[in-house]
Amino acid sequence: MREVMDVLKALADESRVRLLFALRDGELCVCQLIALMDLAPSTVSKHLSILRSARLVDSRKDGRWMYYRLPRKFQNSSAGRVLDLLFKEIEDSDQILDDQKHLKKICSEDIGKLCQRLFCKL
């Protein structure tokens, strides 16, 4: 029951749902997620921490940067089925369509320069 409640809590926030949708097509650096969300790094990190606690994202560190992705193992799980349903329901929403356009632009940038620019602003 605790796991189900953690998943529902994680999905109860628009920013976290947007982060999950952004990760739908593959791994992203935390810098790319910060740029997409246009939120403070600490806020994005808190959202990612909640998603990680609910086992909705996996992370790995590469040098100075953290990368996030959807876990491969839950594709056939209850959480995976819930995410599939959620993604189908929101994929045509204005916010998600805007995010996809913005993310495409963000992903075309050099990741090192993007991360440096974001963290030099702090």
Average pLDDT of each block of 10 consecutive residues along the chain (122 residues)?
Answer: 80 96 95 95 96 93 91 75 89 96 95 82 52
108: exposed, middle or buried (Cβ count in 10 Å: 0-12, 13-18, 19+):
exposed
Domains of the chain, with CATH numbers?
Answer: 2-117 (1.10.10.10)
Secondary structure (DSSP) of 63-89: TTEEEEE--STTTTSHHHHHHHHHHHH
Q: pLDDT at position 59, please?
A: 95
pLDDT of residue 56: 93
**pLDDT at position 67:** 96
